[in-house]
Amino acid sequence: MELIAAAEVKAEYAVQTAKINQAAKADLAETKDEVAEQEKEEEDHSEQTCSYVLYIGNLNPKYTSDVLCSMLKDIFGMANVTLQRRNIEVIRKSGQAHAFVQLATEIGLEHVLKCLLIASDGEKDLTKELVKKGKSLVVGPGKKSAFGNKDGRESDYAGNSSEGDQQVPQKTRKWLQKETKILPIRKSAHYPCRLIDQPGRFLSGTCSDSAIVQKEIKGKEILFYGAFLGSETRNVEFKRGGGDYLTVTLKHHVRKYMCAFLNSEGGSLFVGVEDNGLVRGIRCDHKDEDRVRLLIDSLLKGFKPQVFPSAYTLNFIPVIKAEDTGIFLKVIRLNVHSSKQQREPLLYETDQGEIYLRRDGSVQGPLTGSAIQEWCRQILKQMKYILVTGGVISGIGKGIIASSIGTILKSCGLHVTSIKIDPYINIDAGTFSPYEHGEVFVLDDGGEVDLDLGNYERFLDIRLTKDNNLTTGKIYQSVINKERKGDYLGKTVQVVPHITDAIQEWVMRQAQIPVDEDGIEPQVCVIELGGTVGDIESMPFIEAFRQFQFKVKRENFCNIHVSLVPQPSSTGEQKTKPTQNSVRELRGLGLSPDLIVCRCSTPLDTSVKEKISMFCHVEPEQVICVHDVSSIYRVPLLLEEQGVVDYFRHRLDLPIEKQPRRMLMKWKEMADRYDRLLETCSIALVGKYTKFSDSYASVIKALEHSALAINHKLEIKYIDSADLEPATLQEEPVRYHEAWQKLCSADGILVPGGFGVRGTEGKIQAISWARKQKKPFLGVCLGMQLAVVEFARNILGWQDANSTEFDPRTVHPVVIDMPEHNPGQMGGTMRLGKRRTVFQTKNSVMRKLYGGADYLEERHRHRFEVNPELKSAFEEKGMKFVGQDVEGERMEVVELEEHPFFVGVQYHPEFLSRPIKPSPPYFGLLLASVGRLTHYLQKGCRLSPRDTYSDRSGSSSPDSEITELKFTAMNQE
């Protein structure tokens, strides 16, 4: 008996409850004679009851047997049937639960079932999802065991006994074997009872690994006529069958759907099921089964490539109806799946040479040639992973080498992404000291990451996210959060496997995220592992990638090891021992390098390459030399010259051309032009962290990009802002005068961002000198804020004007704390990431530099901002706030009237500067510093690629640099 949908039962609940007693008497006696006979029997016998055995399946297995018994008693009590505990037998096994109930009642069985269904619907915890989905409620006569034979074995439909999964408890058999009387039950139109005399005979199915070899299984799969199997999906197809289906139509459907499933993710074809998921069955006797097996085996054997028996399973599932008509109804289920052992996806075609695909629940085909090519492009695209490790010393140049490898592959037409792994415990780089770790690079999503991700973005011209920077802190935080939520189900959380698994999952997940503007999924992921091999912090990551290389297969994983080959000045001989030891340690940890990149001051001798090859178990061609070069733009060219492209094409089976494309040629032009530059432009960088150039890595790169665009060699004069303060004059007058000499001799002045009060007065002195002397000036972040402070003190006359960051009690707070900032926590409390700035005027210099756009989008990293209440006071004196946020509350771009170039920006434009697309504010500073800004603006802000990337590097004519390269407006599609 199938559980009827609860909604249907509830519709008649009110009526049936009121009339249940009268309806019971009416159903027990179909005619007046039967009623009279029954009344006569009642006179002769004080009480006569009928016994039944009910099988109730799919109970919730999370409850114990005692709880299930109690709940069943309550449900039957709601149906006006009283049961004792001994009348219920609950069987729980293998995550499933069902029950057999011996029922003795004077009420008609049909009405007992009606009430039982109503009561079951109320107990949703017990019959979870069963009533609505139409699961089985099988009714068996009390005179014969629904389990089968007396010995506890089940009988198939042919009468043969086979061992079942469950043995009937002895006490259950005793009361099941009692003879009871069954009354005929009339089927209701609304509640179609399915009463069968011997349910055990239907409780078997046949299944075969090969469609020919029949083998009984212990699953005893059965389906009930009218049951609901669900809906068709990408992996499930229903066919009604009927008529001549088995002899005519089946072979066409097998070809079509099995080919489509094999070319997707596998799937199942059900024959004997309506499209809406209702089970109907199809006539299928023993002879039909044999014919179907032979047909399917012969068809799949003719597929190209051949489909072997291990790849599919054929089942003939019996269908139970209410009445025993003697017709064998079956549902044929043919399941097919792709072999997990194959090294690469295969494109299957039928025995007639046709190709089908399964997409979104429908079948496409037969396919044309272009559709097949598109399928191959999608299905054969496998992610390739290139791991870059380092040995001997840190800071050896892994980031530049990893970026250069990505640049080479991208120039070959591939989509490349990058991941940087830092083994420190910090969650991110946001609270790092610039002295210790260099610059904090900011991404579009506000991620504060390692400066190497800036190299990746500049080299590859991509947009990364904060998850592209993986740290030990992030991994441990993720694992600990999962443990707290109970995701590990009480297991002991360990470095292996939980930490290593989390690392692998993170890498595989992040490698799939598109980073190019076209939104196409990457094909290659370059992973840089920070630190050196042997560091205790790196051990979990090394172990994770040792496992990872087997998970993704060797043909999809490559390890590049960067090592130092020192050359002592005393001997002049290149030493290979450090590299040998580093590679030996790496191989001892389970990773064997495919390429060994040797960092050295001069090119490697052939004998040195052969020695490294011999001791490090690689071919001489796999030893790559990266010696010191004039600029980093030559590193990709150096790698390409040594056959890296050919090696990757064969080692990783990459679909790339033999020679890199045009993109790498642009790098060659830039590198050649960089070496031939004659004119020099000097920029004074007035900062707090000038002793460590990595603290301003992106600023320096942005200046280089702009200088290269106008064919000038860049000279950066680093000035410690504290040396410009009057206190230094008293303590170290030499340093004071040297600092001021550098500042006065520079062509332009740049005050970058920073934190803390030290050196701020020196920066204000430099800004004041630039304003008074009409020197080109660019203030970034803190540089803009201090420009406002200087203007307030010297022009507005507010001598105590200051930022609340440095003087919280100042009377004139021209720079204030952001309202959303929480001063009690330093990490993650700044305004971070890409934000939109709207230009307020049409004639500003900055708007022209941005191509006349209505707005710009740049990356921010700051806590403080210009006080918006003082805007009018500044603008009255000539300091214009030409750019504000979209709400008009934050001052983000400031310009000074009647000055060649005095600009301040609250954001960090250096983060989006690229070698071929320099940042507009830095570009404007360089143009103004060489006296070309006015000419550039008059020419319509155009810069000619033909002229700027030509061989003419020493020309003094402005037209040789400035004509055609226009910065595209942000708001123009």
Tokens coding 585: 């340690």
CB–CB of 442/432 below 8 Å? Answer: no
Which DSSP state fits 761? H
Q: How far is C-alpha 643 from the geometric centre of its chain's CA atoms?
A: 33
CB–CB of 694/439 below 8 Å? Answer: yes
Q: Which residue has the tokens 């040479």?
A: 353
Tokens coding 307: 């489909």
Q: 96: how many CB neighbours lie within 10 A of its CB?
A: 14
CB–CB of 542/590 below 8 Å? Answer: yes
Q: Which residues are catalytic?
A: 781, 908, 910
Of the candidates 967, 341, 356, 350, the residue with the CA atom closest to the CA atom of residue 705: 967
CB–CB of 109/139 below 8 Å? Answer: yes
Buried b (16+ CB within 10 A) or exposed e, 454-468: bbbbbbbbbbbbbbb
CB–CB of 559/593 below 8 Å? Answer: yes
Tokens coding 617: 């178990």
Buried b (16+ CB within 10 A) or exposed e, 950-966: eeebeeeebebbbbebe
Q: 37: how many CB neighbours lie within 10 A of its CB?
A: 12
Tokens coding 157: 């439909």
Got the DSSP string for 867-913? -GGGHHHHHHTTEEEEEEETTS-SEEEEEETTSSSEEEESS-GGGG-
Tokens coding 457: 């973005």
Q: Strand pairing of 96-105 and 50-56?
A: antiparallel
CB–CB of 418/526 below 8 Å? Answer: yes
Strand-pairing partners, residue 215, are 207
Q: Which residue has the tokens 């003087």?
A: 807
CB–CB of 255/303 below 8 Å? Answer: no
Q: Is 319 left (phi over 0), alpha (psi -120 to 50) or beta?
A: beta
Of the candidates 745, 785, 781, the residue with the CA atom closest to the CA atom of residue 764: 785
Q: How far is CA 596 from CA 389, 609, 654, in A?
A: 10, 10, 20
φ, ψ of residue 77 in degrees (nearest 5): -65, -35
- How many Cα atoms are found within 13 Å in the side-chain-facing hemisphere of 692? 11
3-state secondary structure of 114: helix
Of the candidates 117, 112, 125, 120, the residue with the CA atom closest to the CA atom of residue 67: 125
- Please give the Cα distance from 138 to 146 (Å, whole number): 9
> In the 3-class helix/strand/coil scheme, how is 192-219 assigned residue by residue?
CCCECCCHHHHCCCEEECCCCCCEECCC
Q: How far is CA 116 from CA 6, 142, 191, 820, 959, in A?
A: 11, 18, 12, 60, 93
| Amino acid at site 817 | D
Tokens coding 232: 């068709």
CB–CB of 311/333 below 8 Å? Answer: no
Q: 91: how many CB neighbours lie within 10 A of its CB?
A: 17
Q: Which residue has the tokens 């060797």?
A: 554
- Whether cis (ω within 30° of 0) applies to the bond prior to 366 is yes
